[in-house]
Chains A and B, each alone.
Chain A
Amino acid sequence: MEKLLHISPSPHIAGEYSVQKIMYGVLLALLPAFAASVYFFGIGAIVVTATAVVSCVAFEYLIQKYLIKGTPTILNGSAALTGVLLAFNVPSNLPILLIVIGSMVAIGIGKMSFGGLGQNPFNPALVGRVFLLISFPVQMTSWPLPMGFQTKYFDAITGATPLALVKEGIKNGQTLSSIENIPSHMNLFYGAMGGSIGEICALALILGFAFMLYRKIITWHIPVFLISTIFAFTGIMHLTNPEKYADPLFHILTGGVMLGAIFMATDMVTSPMTHKGMAIFAIGIGLITVIIRLFGAYPEGISFAILIMNAFVPLLNKWTKPTRFGEEVLNG
């Protein structure tokens, strides 16, 4: 095709964004959290994350090439991102076989069975994580204690997360101030606590949030509304009974709230298209999370909350259509 002119309908220039830039941008934003988790959990963090990324990319390649018989698109970074997010939601001593199974479910069922990129209604990493939680509850709830590089991958010393500590304590009839071993708020902020790989260091996650805002990958609406809702709801409950319900700062710094709000709920494919919709979506997640945390059986509920609200997204898109230009004039 030498020297022939190209013809297409307008527009003839394109902006800066591309799917690749967005995916790799999010991966960059996750780098501080990864660094923090290696600092706290040592080799386990690296093993789990690497396994998850490799498995997810491999499964996507195999499914696209041999099952669907199309062209593999692993280079656009979305499978790698699913792998990293799946890894960030599990303990750092999760056996390799379980990681591979989780990746298979995340990519195969959570993404490919719906038609690939852009077609899935549920967040694939969360689909994988929840599947693992329900199928392998023991391995998925034995959290290694953060001991820096001394933390082993095999036979790591495990302990309860702050949220689990509080839940158990309250269930046994203790008052909040009498429960031992709850880290201070500062420690919670910096990440010196048990938990999944990605959720512990709030500081690192906020750095990632700032980076994504700067690159215009996401807008502020979902994280801000989500965290504010949880803060407000738990704040009200804390005021009614400070010995039964932990303070709101504790709630937003523990568990998967920071990770969920900034990286999981903001996944473009599974979140609403308009800002109004995003606000309702985030408030819904916040409410459901707190209900599960305070009145439900699990100590942490944000994964379930996000998946539940994912199901409402098509409805939210329908209900929160943008105002058409000239509509306000017509309507009065």
Chain B
Amino acid sequence: MLKTFKKGGVHPAENKLSAHAPIIKAEIPKTVTIPLGQHIGAPSSPIVTKGETVKVGQIIAKSNGFVSANIHSSVSGVVAKIEDTFDITGFSRPAISITVDGDDWLETIDRTETINSNLDYQPEHIIKRVQESGIVGLGGATFPTHIKLSVPTGKKAEFLIINGVECEPYLTADHRLMMEKGEQVLIGTKLLMAALGVNKAYICIENNKPDAIQHLMQLAKKYQPIQVVPLKVKYPQGGEKQLINAVLKREVPSGGLPIDLGVIVQNVGTAFAVYEAVQKNKPLFERIVTVTGKTVKKPSNFLVRIGTPAIQLVEAAGGIPDDTGKIVAGGPMMGKALNSLDVPITKGASGILLFDRKEGKRLPISPCIRCGKCVSVCPMGLEPYLLMTLSEKQIWDRSEKENTMDCMECGSCMYTCPANRPLLDYIRLSKSTVGQLIRTRKQ
């Protein structure tokens, strides 16, 4: 019996079209646009000026405040401008544009392919390297990793869970990373274990990636005590609260964090980035992006320099299909619909998905038939039909009582709803309004 989380969940069609496409190094573009706000927290402050020459891996923006991260150049060339540009968020945000000239890396970066398995470091050194390298959660949440690794006083970390679940349909970036850089991922895991001072680590992989499970189980024999845990395929298994529930059979309290249970969760991509940062002195400036969709000619996984325009990747995957109706950055359940492909790839972009005209349109709305399916699939035990009605009528105090702030915006409710009601649209609105009310109350 495979482990899984207890409450709710749906089973969208997996469509892992690019599961067997090996990682291809994407071509370095002519210009890159690197947004300054690629992470949770305050956007970074630029430390380069227009006209300055930069090298690959050079730091170009510094962390701005406690919750923030460094940003490094992914190319070598000249800084062209620092101004507001439209990015994946759908809004115009500050970004640094660099005109590319060659591929000149910082001399301090170790570019060799040999695997470095030396683990003789102090925890402080590992955390410092992570922070200097601008590593953020690469599962899509983009939370600065060095903050997660600095456990606050009064709490103690006991378990590390590496999230290789990749529960979103279509996405295969983590899958290919585990297949092709499995040993590096395990070393990165050991480094994270050392940084946290834990001696129990689980790498969780959904059962639709049997090759990755086999491969890592084989490699993990050399890296005890990391345990590879296959999990049942169910969305949203990759949500950290659901992951903890499946592996440890415990529930993170409402309004709490995993560290309250002594658990830290990190994505496999983050573990790999930690390996590169500590062992190869390489900061975070490239990531794996899946370009896929039923109409895409060559669904592929690319190793992309941050700041590459998305259009370039789609061209490399066979070009924009003719009747494209919707383009999504990320997965189909939680990703962001794009207005155009002229947006740069950021640290949090795990995939570019193309839908045709028919699939890309939302279906017409019917009245709620009170079937209760949304309640039965909600992994957080909420009542989406009720939260939507309260949000429409702007009854915010009752929304707060009905735990609207617990919603993780996974989209299972809307996926299941037979009447195609925009449940999550209104729940997001109630979350932001109630969140604002809570903040003003605390002041």
Contact = CB atoms under 8 A, between A and B. Distances in A.
A322 interface: yes
Interface stretch (B17-25, B47-55, B68-76, B247-255): B247-255
Contact of A22 (B367, B369, B428): B369
Chain A interface helix/strand/loop/mixed = loop
B254 A327 contact: yes
B372 A273 contact: yes
A135 interface: no
Contacts of B338: 5, 7
Interface string A267-290: 011111111000000000000000
Contacts of A7: 90, 326, 337-339
Interface stretch (B153-161, B189-197, B219-227, B412-420): B412-420
A11 B415 contact: yes
Contacts of A18: 363, 418-420
B385 interface: yes
Interface in B416-430: 416-420, 422, 424-425, 428
A324 interface: yes
Nearest to A8: B362
Interface string B186-210: 0000000000000000000000000
Contacts of B419: 18-19, 118
B359 interface: yes
Interface stretch (B27-35, B108-116, B121-129, B328-336): B328-336
Interface in B368-387: 368-373, 375-376, 378-383, 385
A12 B251 contact: no
A268 B254 contact: no
Contacts of B169: 13
A312 B14 CA distance: 41
A13 B353 CA distance: 11
A117 B333 contact: no
Contact of B367 (A5, A13, A116, A272): A116
B418 A118 contact: no
B375 A273 contact: yes
B436 interface: no
Counting contact residues on chain A (CB < 8 A from B), the size range is 35 or more
Contacts of A21: 418
Interface residues of B, number: 68
B327 interface: yes
B334 A11 contact: yes
B342 to A, nearest CB: 12
Contact of B370 (A13, A269, A323, A330): A269
A325 interface: yes
Interface in A173-230: none
Contacts of B333: 10-13
Contact of B385 (A270, A273, A324): A273
A124 to B, nearest CB: 13
A17 B12 CA distance: 12
Nearest to B379: A325
A22 B418 contact: yes
Given A10-B424, A330-B253, A15 B10 contact: yes
A14 B363 contact: yes
Contact of A324 (B245, B254, B327, B373): B254
Contact of B418 (A13, A17, A270): A17
Nearest to B11: A15
A12 B328 contact: yes
Interface string A3-45: 0011111111111011101100000000000000000000000
Interface in B231-265: 241, 245, 250-256
B360 interface: yes
Q: Which 3 A-B pairs have the closest CB atoms?
A: A11-B411, A273-B372, A17-B418
7 contacts: A6-B326, A9-B424, A13-B332, A322-B375, A324-B381, A328-B251, A330-B254
